[in-house]
Chains A and B, each alone.
Chain A
Amino acid sequence: MDKVLLKMVVNGKDVEVRVQPTRTLLRVLREDLGLTGTKKGCEQGDCGACTVLLEGKAVNSCLVLALQAQGKRVETIEGLGRPDALHPLQKSFIKHGAVQCGFCTPGMLLSAKALLEKNPEPTIDEIRRGISGNLCRCTGYVKIIKAIQNVSKG
């Protein structure tokens, strides 16, 4: 079966790539577009490491067929800030020591961004619920929650 032309807007830029219908958004982002900041974890929708924003909403990119993103806006961690101009959430994660091995961090940051856009002043319980689809096996979440809370107040 033939490849199909996929057009999307990734981090504000128009991209075009020919993909097999079986490819997930995760695989296309990482393997065709080289955006390896989006992590491949469980590939079953349990860990949240592959979280991206699709039309502004947090989704597991391993559970989206790439062709279902046809014509849509996708935001990955590469679009969140630049090394010389970090996003406030990125700054806060560093300041609060919310990054250990770093594998969950891209997904965690995008879930946090989606949460704060919807609810700029979440309670701690709302933050917990907002990142409940992202597993972190290092931090115990306490510092991640503090980092998000700090941005929400500022």
Chain B
Amino acid sequence: MQRFQFHQARSIEEALDLLSEKGERTKVIAGGTDLIPALRNEEVRPEGVLDILEIEALRGIRELEDRVWFGPTTTFTEIEESSVLKCHFPLLVQAASSVGGPQIRNRGTVGGNIVNASPAADVLPALVALGAELEVQSKREGIRRLPIEGAIQGPYRCVIKGDELLTGIVIKKYPPETRSLFKKLGRRNAMARARMNLSLLVRLDGSGAVEELRVVPGAVMPVAKRIARAEKILLGKKLAPSLLEEAAQVMEEEIVKTTGIRWSTAYKLPVIQAVFKQSVMELLG
């Protein structure tokens, strides 16, 4: 590991002061489950590391009237055990439960999953499906808010700049009749990096037609995003096997458009199609 200076901030202001001065040469550390291996392999060589785990204002889960706010250093275990999140966003809870083993979930944070922007992240696609909004602060710009979709530009590339700090994540509550599901395929059940995962959110209207649908496959594309073309096929219609087949086919086309044909494509495409069809049937069938 290349030597670095260790800084620990006790408040957001303290962290922003340091980042405004040394942000480009400083790495923010929270749980460290991604950063420490990267430091050890010298994939990153910062001059300084800023620990934000002691900042009280970056932790916790708060239920507001129409939305839920949670801090970026909330751990996967805290998400898994939160009664507020279990009630409003079971999709997020399922995604957080599927991360690593207990040691990783006790340490790894939701903010780290976002900022690190791993294409195999589990929680990131769930947050995209839930339409999460990020709250980012810097001395230069104050607070800015941005949708999570668009915040991730590529594998390990997040738009949050060197002098900025992710200070909160906000998800709007959705109508209670909305159903959701998170599916993950790994090489084994525990401790697996996702080979692929799927976040699905769906709501039917009074007549049984699809009123809202969000389909976000993870770990099959460089960036987790909604497959709008596949969603449109089912929107406003009642579920029928032929429509589901068509949507799955379109999803496959969209994925190939982004990734091209790779060594894993022969495996991943039919499987993600099957997982998608199964998951929709499980939610609506």
Categorize the interface residue count of chain A: 20 to 34
Known contacts A63-B32, A63-B33, A129-B190; A57/B6 CB under 8 A: no
Q: With contacts A68-B53, A111-B103 known, is A63 near B4, CB below 8 A?
A: no
Once bound together, how far apart are the Cα atoms of A48 and B101, in whole Å?
9
Of chain B, the residue at the smallest CB distance from A57 is B106
Residues of B contacting A59 in the complex (Cβ-Cβ under 8 angstroms): 103, 106-107
**B41 shortest CB reach to chain A, Å:** 9
Q: Which residues of A contact B102 (CB under 8 A)?
A: 58, 111, 114-115, 129-130, 132-133
Q: Which residues of B contact A15 (CB under 8 A)?
A: none
Q: In B193-227, which residues have CB < 8 Å from any A CB?
A: none
Judge whether A68 and B101 touch: CB under 8 Å.
no
A51 within 8 A of B: yes
Contact call A22/B3, Cβ cutoff below 8 A:
yes
Count the A-B residue pairs with Cβ separation under 8 angstroms: how many? Answer: 87
Task: Count residues on chain B whose CB falls below 8 Å from chain A CBs.
Answer: 29
B33 touches A45 (CB 8 A): yes
Which of A4, A48, A65, A132 sits near B36, CB closer than 8 Å? A65
- Enumerate chain B residues within 8 angstroms of A62, measured Cβ to Cβ: 36
Q: Does B228 contact A (CB under 8 A)?
A: no
Q: Which among A48, A57, A63 has the greatest number of chain B C-beta atoms within 10 A?
A: A63
Q: Are B49 and A46 interface neighbours, CB within 8 A?
A: no
Whether A133 pairs with B100 at a CB distance below 8 angstroms is yes
A133 x B32 contact (CB < 8 A): no
Q: Cβ of B191 and Cβ of A132 under 8 Å apart?
A: yes
- Is B51 among interface residues, defined by CB-CB distance under 8 A? yes
Residues of B within 8 A of A21 (CB): 3-6, 49
The A contact surface, by secondary structure, is mixed
Check B67 for interface membership: any CB of A closer than 8 A: no
Bound: A59/B37 CA distance, A: 15
Find chain A residues with CB under 8 A from B37 CB.
44-45, 63
CA–CA, A22 and B29, complex, Å: 13
Q: Which residues of A contact B181 (CB under 8 A)?
A: none
Instruction: Tell me, rounded to whole Å, the shortest Cβ–Cβ distance linking B191 to chain A.
Output: 6
Whose C-beta in chain B lies nearest to the C-beta of A128?
B190
Contact assessment for B107 and A60 in the assembled complex, using a CB-CB cutoff below 8 Å: yes
CB–CB A133/B103 < 8 A: yes
A68 to B191, CA, bound (A): 24
Contact across chains for A70 and B4 when beta carbons are under 8 A apart:
no
A152 CB–B CB distance under 8 Å: no
- The proximity string for A residues 125-154 relative to B, scoring 1 for CB distances below 8 Å and 0 otherwise, is 000111011100000000000000000000
CA distance A10 to B26 in the complex (A): 30
- Residues of B28-42 at the interface with A, using a CB-CB cut-off of 8 Å, are 29, 31-33, 36-37, 39-40
Given contacts A1-B3, A21-B5, contact A65 B32 (CB under 8 A): yes
Which residues of chain A in 1-59 are interfacial with respect to chain B, using CB atoms and an 8 Å cutoff?
1, 4, 20-22, 24, 43-46, 48, 51, 57-59
Q: Is the CB of A60 within 8 A of B51?
A: no
B interface list, Cβ under 8 A from A = 1-6, 8, 29, 31-33, 36-37, 39-40, 49, 51, 53, 77, 100-104, 106-107, 189-191
Closest 5 CB pairs of A and B: A133-B101, A132-B190, A21-B6, A22-B1, A133-B103
